[in-house]
Structure 1
Amino acid sequence: MEQSPQIGDRITEKSGPPDENTVRDWMGPKRFVQWAELRNWIETYYPAVFAPDWLYGGKKRGWSLRYKKSKAFCTLLPEYRQFSVLVVLGRAERDKFEERRYGWRSQLVKLYDEATTYPDGKWLTAAISSAADRRDVTELLTMKRPPPPRS
């Protein structure tokens, strides 16, 4: 007997990357709106910079959508009835974060303080359930890599 998905479970069907309908059904319509808004923001502010790439992390981690050029920008994690974004902050980005520590929302600072620091950086996973959460992530991403000048 197959177990029903639990909140936060990942899409683990390994036959191929999920399509938009699968992602929408898995996350639910409210979270999918946040997903689509963040993807649109990346396309608008970083046109033709990133080619999103679906990665399969195995049965435990499932599918994720990575934005990367030479360095990772962010990874979108479609989860059951949730949506999270992973941002890895290297030394320079952590210094920038600390300079602005009191300008960030308290929820983001708490997340930052609790995130594990690995040799390649601090791995911050932020759940996105509102426009304010999404704004935190877009500000973090803008700090990490300023958008190219618009023509």
Structure 2
Amino acid sequence: MEWSLSFEQDHEPTLAEMINFVNNPLWVDLQSFIETTYHIQPVMNYSRCSAQRGWNLKYRKSSKSLCVLYPMDGYFIALVVIGNKELNEMEAYLPQASPEIQALFKRTPFAAGGRWLMIPVTSERILDDVKNLIQIRVRPKL
């Protein structure tokens, strides 16, 4: 079933309902990584965007977006924006990234201040890439 049909705009899901819908341990792994590394909590948000309509989780550190997580049936999409400031570090990371991330980066045009990478998280390898991209986006404090 499609996520946006399960939870309309007037029916905000709980985090538990999101976890149950995604039904993939990678979702909880990424949430735990972000919340532990950056000491932040997500904000539930409803998107009317036709590209990915429905409820999602936004993670921000100070005024900078880390990522947005979109629940899907059995997996999820992580949106990470790589801007001009992160471009050199991203290009240095690319050779060690998964083939999926390399291909996505190459085919994603620069628009609205960055490359908006909509990453389907379907494996541990891609999850590791997402964690690395988030750390490129915003360096965690040690």
Same fold, TM exceeding 0.5?
yes
Percent of pairs with identical residues: 26
Q: Given residue 145 of structure 1, which amino acid in structure 2 is its aligned partner? A: V
Deviation at 1:107, TM superposition (A): 1.6
1:20 to partner: Cα distance: 2.8
User: What one-letter code is carried by the residue in structure 2 that aligns with 1:79?
Assistant: M
Aligned residues: 138
Aligned to 1:39: 31
The answer to whether 1:55 aligns with 2:55 is no
Question: RMSD over aligned Cα, in angstroms?
Answer: 1.9
Stretches of structure 1 lacking an aligned partner (at least 5 in a row): none
Secondary structure at 1:100's aligned position in 2? Answer: helix
Amino acid at match of 2:78: V
In the alignment, which residue of structure 1 is the partner of 2:85?
A: 92
Distance 1:116 1:17, change over 3 A: farther
Q: How far did residue 128 of structure 1 move?
A: 1.0
One-letter amino acid matched to 1:40: S
| Larger-gyration structure (1/2) | 1
CA 1:101–1:82: 2 relative to 1, 3 Å: closer
2:141 aligned counterpart, secondary structure? coil
Amino acid in structure 1 at the alignment position of 2:14: D
Structure with more strand by fraction: 2
Q: TM-score, normalised by structure 2?
A: 0.86
| CA deviation map 1:12-38 (0-9, x unaligned) | 4112421133213322x2x2x111110
